[in-house]
Structure 1
Amino acid sequence: MQFTRLLRNPSVTAAEMSLHAGRLTGRRVAGRHVVAVQDTSELVLGSRRARAGYGPVGRGNVAGLLLHPVLALEAGTGALLGLVSMQVWNRNAGELAPRRQRVTANKESRRWIDATKQAGAVLDGAASITMVSDRESDFYELFAERPHNVDLIVRACQNRRIEAPQEGPDLLLAFIDAQPEQGRFAVTIPAAPGRRARDAELALRFAPVAVRRPLNAADPALPETVDLTLVDVREVSKPEEGSEPVHWRLLTTHCVATKVEARRIVDLYRSRWTIEEFFRTLKTAGFDIEAADIGDPHAMINFVAAATIAAVTIKQLVQARDGNTDQRLSDAFDPDDQTILEAVSAKLEGKTERQRNPHPKGSLAFAAWVIARLGGWTGYYGKPGPKVMRIGLAEFHAIKYGANLGLRNV
């Protein structure tokens, strides 16, 4: 009942939760090189109660909410450092004017610009910030209005007009296709729904481009051109039947002059997969948030915001379970939690080597072992996933609540 009242309280907002989570993440990223990953997910609410009052999402006659989070990752390790910001909204069910008749401020696409500016403010203490996003974010205003302290990597979607160099093609895709191949490298393409993991050979092309302002609907106050670099990477090995070959065209504000620098852009873009795994944690793999039966949109928006913050911690624990990210406990827990985690670990450990916590105290991996054991993992078989971590984290918070109870006034 307390939680229900909290969600329905008009003074409780997703925006305030986002600000609080962002402040915590801002402290963790100080001095680090950070990759900020943003994307949008549709939350389809299938319960009968949840259909009334919610706007359309997806295709067909379905209703729900939209969530647009920004996650902070450590460049190089890919370790999830925290939530930068999030936007949760209920789409208006009424008809809108055609897209080209609306200014950017009145479009949902504004979220990409707002999120990038929020990342620049929240992560200002980082050594560097690179914002990574997929094809939906490929629009001119994002490049023209980016904060000075944020670099961009955007997968190109539009065949844009460019300043033609030396009588060459004046369209983006024709221009890069005409460039000679500048190197190859091998990667492992991770598994995804309907696709097995595979090794692939990729070919690189890259070149600077001056992208021209669109002729239609663009604000005339924007600069006439924006200087970017286009990195083209395409799979030259033959994928197995049923798999599409990789082909990414990446527009970036980073300077790219060598094959090594181009490969780095590709690797930074590949870290975008973390947000896909995060959405899976929030939905089917961990929280099953779309099954929530909340008829009040305001309460549901607050619930989505709270679950998003919790899902970040779950994803951090799953990442850290093998000790590969080398993260500190403070990347996901309060400083006072270490004593409780160590006490619980001592109680959970058994006599055999497999039953002992193998990770150093003060590390996030140490905490992940404790949370997984609380969630029902035996330590012997398989690896703990999001559901196990979610159950274990709830158990830990119950233990923490009990440990912090004051009995002096009873």
Structure 2
Amino acid sequence: MSRHAGALTAQRVAGRDVVAIQDTSELVLGGRRARQAGYGAVGKGGVLSGLLLHPVLAVEAGSGGLLGLVSMQVWNRGRAELAPRRRRTTAAKESRRWIEGAQQAGEVLAEARCITVVSDRESDFYELFARRPANVHLIVRACQNRRIERLTEEPADGLLFGMIDGQPEQGRFATTIPAAPGRAKRHAELALRFAPVALRRPLHGADPALPATVGLTLVDVREISTPPDGKPIHWRLLTTHPVAECGQVRRVIDLYRQRWTIEEFFRTLKTAGFDIEDADIGEPQAMINFVAAATIASVTIKQLVQARDGNTDRQLGDAFDPDDRPILEAVSARLEGKTARQRNPHPTGSLAFAAWVIARLGGWTGYYGKPGPKLMRIGLAKFNDIKYGTTLGLRNV
């Protein structure tokens, strides 16, 4: 399923600047009963049981439009993954998923004009930078206060965070921070610092065959004022993109901000669309298969929600097969009513046209509110039933 979804995504990325966003989410499926069924430990302390999902999503850099699934890994944690981290090689650690995700992005998205793999603090480990594919750039939110060598005329050994904290501001810009759970939308002013750095290979646990240093740029972004609800933004971003002036810094920040797409995707999978953690499937392998299928469907649902207002240039082929178009057009004609608000306002061949059809199948009337992930999930299931029905041949029995 993952390879098929990746092949479809590969057809959509040619000539585009693409952000490949990767992250891991725990799927909590129960406690003692789930453990007895064979599910591995998840959560702090290992009291709960479930699976882990690590998808890589392809997003167009300029528009933020979700292009599809690059790859996914779903696994049931065994005892080997719970052994002390320093006793295992990277190949035996769960952290290898970040390297594999970057490699899969380089392969699947090879026809893209530019590939940037974006990930959060959990992916900040030396081997990811040292082994990145040649056709892939990285933006990783720094977690480790690493040993560095400065790439300036006066090299000085030190630590990463102290070095950037000692730099003067190199610019500011204003931006809008969108609303999120527990946080209202707000306007913010951000201060910028950036500097080239060479990360040193860790003294312990790193493969001695890795290079002694890796050259990157550290971009430091800080919100000037303290917001009334929540902590001020402070990102330290390590990137392979060239950064020599504030315009390039802004581009790195804008690319990193696309990471929010995968948080919305997990919300669609877990609560807003599928409620996948409520699935009562006792056999772990069957649940892994279900998670894989739901992941692919959640990508389509997220694409439909993005396209519902007709404010993007997404085309039908970004989410549907070519053979789906006549079916969508026929269903649209059947669903349309007499009033303007009961007619599909979007051009045929656009993803917005399909989003209107799927939402109507899901129970949206066209009058009130905007269709969300749950309506899109219901509508997509009904559309797939209709599509299956078109393939049935009637026999004279």
Q: TM-score range by the shorter chain?
A: over 0.9
Aligned-partner residue type, residue 188 of structure 1: T
Match of 1:204 among 188, 192, 205: 192
Provide TM-score, normalisation by structure 1. Answer: 0.93
Relative to 1, partners in 2 of residues 1:48 and 1:139: Cα closer, same or farther, differing over 3 Å?
closer
Residue 258 (1) aligns with residue 245 (2): yes
Match of 1:57 among 11, 36, 42: 42
Relative to 1, partners in 2 of residues 1:202 and 1:118: Cα closer, same or farther, differing over 3 Å?
same
Q: Is the 8 A contact 2:197 2:217 kept in 1?
A: yes
Relative to 1, partners in 2 of residues 1:223 and 1:403: Cα closer, same or farther, differing over 3 Å?
same
Counterpart for residue 27 of structure 2: 43
Could you give the per-residue CA deviations for residues 97-137 of structure 1, whole angstroms, max 9, x where no partner exists? 42122211111101000111011111111111000000000
Q: Is the 8 A contact 1:168 1:175 kept in 2?
A: no
For 1:59 and 1:159, locate their aligned partners in 2 and report how far apart those are by CA, in whole Å.
24
Residue 106 (1) aligns with residue 92 (2): yes
For 2:203 and 2:332, locate their aligned partners in 1 and report how far apart those are by CA, in whole Å.
62
C-alpha root-mean-square deviation of aligned residues, in Å? 1.5
For 1:48 and 1:315, locate their aligned partners in 2 and report how far apart those are by CA, in whole Å.
33
Could you give the per-residue CA deviations for residues 173-207 of structure 1, whole angstroms, max 9, x where no partner exists? 11111111111111111222221121111111111
- Superposed displacement of residue 350, structure 1: 1.7
After the TM superposition, which residues 162-241 of structure 1 pair with which residues of structure 2 at under 5 Å, given as runs?
A: 162-164=148-150, 165=152, 166=154, 168=156, 170-240=158-228
Residue 151 (1) aligns with residue 137 (2): yes
Residue 385 (1) aligns with residue 372 (2): yes
- Report the secondary structure of 1:380's partner residue: coil
For 2:43 and 2:341, locate their aligned partners in 1 and report how far apart those are by CA, in whole Å.
46
Q: Is the 8 A contact 1:82 1:332 kept in 2?
A: yes
Greater RCO, 1 or 2 (C-alpha within 8 Å, sep 6+): 1
Counterpart for residue 328 of structure 1: 315
- Report the secondary structure of 2:112's partner residue: coil
Counterpart for residue 247 of structure 1: 234
- Report the secondary structure of 1:162's partner residue: strand
Could you give the per-residue CA deviations for residues 12-54 of structure 1, whole angstroms, max 9, x where no partner exists? xxxxx11111111111111111100000000000387534201
Counterpart for residue 297 of structure 2: 310
Relative to 1, partners in 2 of residues 1:288 and 1:311: Cα closer, same or farther, differing over 3 Å?
same
For 1:23 and 1:405, locate their aligned partners in 2 and report how far apart those are by CA, in whole Å.
27
Counterpart for residue 353 of structure 2: 366
Residue 117 (1) aligns with residue 103 (2): yes
For 1:46 and 1:95, locate their aligned partners in 2 and report how far apart those are by CA, in whole Å.
19
What number of residue pairs does the alignment pair up?
Answer: 393
Q: Runs of 4 or more off by more than 6 Å in structure 1?
A: none
Could you give the per-residue CA deviations for residues 323-373 of structure 1, whole angstroms, max 9, x where no partner exists? 222111011101011111111111111222211111111000100011001
- Report the secondary structure of 2:290's partner residue: helix
After the TM superposition, which residues 90-101 of structure 1 pair with which residues of structure 2 at under 5 Å, given as runs?
A: 90-93=76-79, 96-101=82-87
For 1:50 and 1:391, locate their aligned partners in 2 and report how far apart those are by CA, in whole Å.
28
Aligned-partner residue type, residue 260 of structure 1: G
For 2:316 and 2:81, locate their aligned partners in 1 and report how far apart those are by CA, in whole Å.
48
For 1:34 and 1:346, locate their aligned partners in 2 and report how far apart those are by CA, in whole Å.
35
Counterpart for residue 12 of structure 1: none
Aligned-partner residue type, residue 96 of structure 2: R
Q: Is the 8 A contact 2:147 2:157 kept in 1?
A: no
Q: Is the 8 A contact 2:35 2:41 kept in 1?
A: no
Could you give the per-residue CA deviations for residues 199-232 of structure 1, whole angstroms, max 9, x where no partner exists? 1111111111111111111111111111101111
Residue 22 (1) aligns with residue 36 (2): no
Q: Is the 8 A contact 2:344 2:353 kept in 1?
A: yes
Counterpart for residue 351 of structure 1: 338
- Counting aligned pairs with the same residue, the percent is 77
Q: Which runs of 5+ in 2 are unaligned?
A: none
Match of 1:273 among 238, 260, 263: 260
Counterpart for residue 404 of structure 1: 391
Relative to 1, partners in 2 of residues 1:377 and 1:48: Cα closer, same or farther, differing over 3 Å?
farther
Relative to 1, partners in 2 of residues 1:82 and 1:95: Cα closer, same or farther, differing over 3 Å?
closer
For 2:377 and 2:79, locate their aligned partners in 1 and report how far apart those are by CA, in whole Å.
34
Match of 1:140 among 101, 119, 126: 126
Relative to 1, partners in 2 of residues 1:180 and 1:370: Cα closer, same or farther, differing over 3 Å?
same
For 2:206 and 2:118, locate their aligned partners in 1 and report how far apart those are by CA, in whole Å.
23
Match of 2:53 among 67, 71, 96: 67
- Report the secondary structure of 1:305's partner residue: helix
Residue 31 (1) aligns with residue 19 (2): no
For 1:354 and 1:103, locate their aligned partners in 2 and report how far apart those are by CA, in whole Å.
60
For 2:299 and 2:116, locate their aligned partners in 1 and report how far apart those are by CA, in whole Å.
19
